[in-house]
Amino acid sequence: MGGLTVLHECLVTMPHEDFVYLGDGARLPYGPRPLDEIRRFSLEIAGYLEAQGVKLILVACNAATSAALPELQERIAVPVVGVITPEAHAAVQTTRNRQIGLMATEATVAAGRYADLVRTLDAGARLVPVACPRLVPLIEGDEPFGAETTQAVREYAQPLKDAGIDTVILGCTHYPLIRPIFQRVFGRDVALVFSAEETAREVAETLARKGIENDAVREGSYRFLTTGDTGRFRELGARFLQLPLEGVEHVEISELEAAAA
């Protein structure tokens, strides 16, 4: 579901492009899974989308980007863009004291890609990562803005406050939905970084650079696929997309597995 927050920015940035979004509802959440398993799932999904004739794949999930982006770029014929590099770059550009926090899923923290990118961009910057396993289920639950969510954010934020960070990467595509809670917990002196806009810009620039963008005067389309329950996707997806979400098509896991075979 979280990737819909990124899709929203893509639809706004590139209204002339056509999008197909595949949400792996049958195997969520990815965050607690081993990196090798997330990598396999990602290769299956990318292979399936490539077979659908897409011209670019955006990995709109931090855990999947962390686990699989290099392998995807090696094995998939079309360009593949992830969500991590724009966030790391934005955080390094934003921080004033070079103390950067990361709030993300267990898989994203374990992969260590944010730390590598921050170190490459600024060897003197310090990244303090905190895994937040309770947040995704709470955000997808019935009361995403409830007291339990606020309390969880407070607990996860405390080590970052103790470390003196002035910038926090919201390293999961679910987190922007509760951005007001993060801002309330951290206050105005801490900058929150979530790079949906930068990621959408990178997609647009990649399409233009390769000369495969659509004519800007046309109106694009978007369709939704899920391996999970279509009704659940439609109901919860509208919360994340913040746009009308009509028909949702079901895809069997076996179809994804066959695409990667």
Separation of alpha carbons 171 and 110, rounded Å: 12
Q: CA separation (Å) from 51 to 48, 77, 132, 198?
A: 5, 10, 35, 27
Q: Phi, psi (5° rounding) for residue 147? A: -60, -35
Q: How far is CA 141 from the centre of its chain?
A: 18
Point out the catalytic residue in the list 22, 43, 61, 132: 61
The reply to whether 132 belongs to the active site is: no
Cβ neighbors of 205 (< 8 A, separation 6 or more) are none
Q: Is 97 exposed, middle or buried (0-12, 13-18, 19+ CB in 10 A)?
A: exposed
Separation of alpha carbons 210 and 130, rounded Å: 37
- The SS3 assignment for 193 reads strand
Cβ neighbors of 159 (< 8 A, separation 6 or more) are 128, 130
Separation of alpha carbons 204 and 202, rounded Å: 5
Cβ neighbors of 150 (< 8 A, separation 6 or more) are 181, 184, 185
Point out the catalytic residue in the list 132, 172, 193, 200: 172
The reply to whether 61 belongs to the active site is: yes
Positions marked catalytic: 61, 172
